[in-house]
Amino acid sequence: MSQKNTPTPHIGAKYGEIAETVIMAGDPLRAKFMAEKFLENPVCFNEVRGMLGYTGTYKGKRVSMMGHGMGMPSIGLYTYELYNFYDVKTIIRVGSAGACNKDLHIGDLVLAQGACTDSNYADQYQLDGMFAPIGDFQLLRKAADTCEEKGFNYKVGNVVSSDLFYRENPNTKGWIKMGVLAVEMEVAALYMNAARSGNRALGILTISDHLLTGEATTSEQRQTTFTNMMEVALSLV
């Protein structure tokens, strides 16, 4: 990729300032927290629109961490630029999700094997049918192995990426009947961008609230205490 394509309209980094593996969080402050907690010598490569991004090393391996914002349009924009202009090969989303499975609890992890969606994001590809966005199997298998080794409570399966947080007529019963584990807002777009660019992606989610029981966490807890999923993500670097 030619350096003339960077910086992009939304990322201020020059070509080469972003590692081939990027761990992303919806909240840019979570990206900052991860970089300061886990990376050696982190250097900020992006502040455009407050979407913070950092590159450093973890156990001698170069890795970047960056925010991606809320919703599929936002993560779709940033991951498209990372894959197509910065030659990023692997993107791992670490985020929060609302459980819709009775066996999941606050703090448990969900490894998104696939991502259903109510979004029209795939329409741009003009396919003859319905595309099924899935995560990279090698990343998924290693993430599950790490959860087993560390004793983290986790489940592997389908999530649903919703375009709406505040829905006029909320109804998750259909997704629950189909065995969907949790609701979030970004993974499906990430998986589609990875598939279209020929690269890798995985969503690692922490249960922050429960749609069946009403359990919930604070924004501060979501920003600074969901470190298990970060450790799993770093094991994939």
Give yes or no: 27 in active site.
Answer: no
User: Given this model, what pLDDT does residue 167 score?
Assistant: 84
CATH number, span 3-234? 3.40.50.1580
**What is the bridge-based pairing of β-strands 40-46 and 154-161?**
unpaired
CA proximity to 95, closest of 160, 30, 21, 181: 30
At residue 225 the predicted structure's pLDDT band, cuts being 50, 70 and 90, is low
Read off the pLDDT band of 12 (50, 70, 90).
Answer: very high
pLDDT, tens digit, for every residue of 163-206? 998 888 877 889 999 999 999 999 999 999 999 999 999 999 99
CA 11 to CA 214: how far, in whole Å?
Answer: 37
Q: Count CB atoms within 10 A of the CB of residue 172.
A: 16
Residue 4's pLDDT is what?
65
Q: What is the pLDDT of residues 70-100, one digit of tens each?
A: 999 999 999 999 999 999 999 999 999 999 9
Lowest-pLDDT choice from 41-50, 122-131, 186-195, 221-230: 221-230
* 36 pLDDT higher than 70: yes
Percent of the chain with pLDDT over 90: 87
Burial environment of residue 163 by CB neighbours within 10 A (0 to 12, 13 to 18, 19 or more) = middle
Tokens representing 89 are: 């090969």
Contact predicate 187/133, CB 8 Å: yes
Please tell me which residue in 87, 118, 145, 209 is annotated as part of the active site: 209
Domain positions in the chain are: 3-234
Q: What is the mean pLDDT of the chain?
A: 94
Annotate the chain with three-state secondary structure.
Answer: CCHHHCCCCCCCCCCCCCCCEEEEECCHHHHHHHHHHHCEEEEEEECHHHCCEEEEEECCEEEEEEECCCCHHHHHHHHHHHHHHCCCCEEEEEEEEEECCCCCCCCCEEEEEEEEECCCHHHHHCCCCCCCCECCHHHHHHHHHHHHHHCCCEEEEEEEECCCCCCCCCCCHHHHHCCCCEEECCHHHHHHHHHHHCCEEEEEEEEEEECCCCCECCHHHHHHCCHHHHHHHHCCC
